[in-house]
Amino acid sequence: MAGPPAFLVTGLLRVAERSVGFGVALASYQAIRLPRSEFWQPGTYRVIECGGTAEWDCFIDKKTVWLTKRRGVVTLQDNTWVQIIAQDGDLLLLRPI
């Protein structure tokens, strides 16, 4: 019986990129708000944005994740939707949509 090809892989396979959520920029709060998920933990994340790489702090309440830029101003316009992509390692990418 013929079937799909099989491959033997040795070592560890890691996902290079994965979407970890969609959020909305809130200019008045200088933050990005998105629904809570298992990915997010309170702390600091390195984020690639249009101005380069910056540190963002993550705060979590019952249903919401809040990301705030540690230094500088959030340059996204109010109510801009973004997709957040986790890249290999501990780096996040903000992708406006």
The pTM score is 0.81
Contacts of 64 (CB under 8 A, 6+ apart): 33, 34, 35, 36
- With respect to residue 64, please indicate whether it lies within any of the assigned structural domains: yes
Q: 7-45: per-residue pLDDT in tens?
A: 887 877 666 789 999 999 999 999 999 999 999 999 999
Which residues constitute the domain of residue 54? 17-96
Question: Which runs of consecutive H residues, i.e. helices, occur in 1-97?
Answer: none
Report the number of distinct structural domains present in the chain.
1
Residue 2 resides in a domain: no
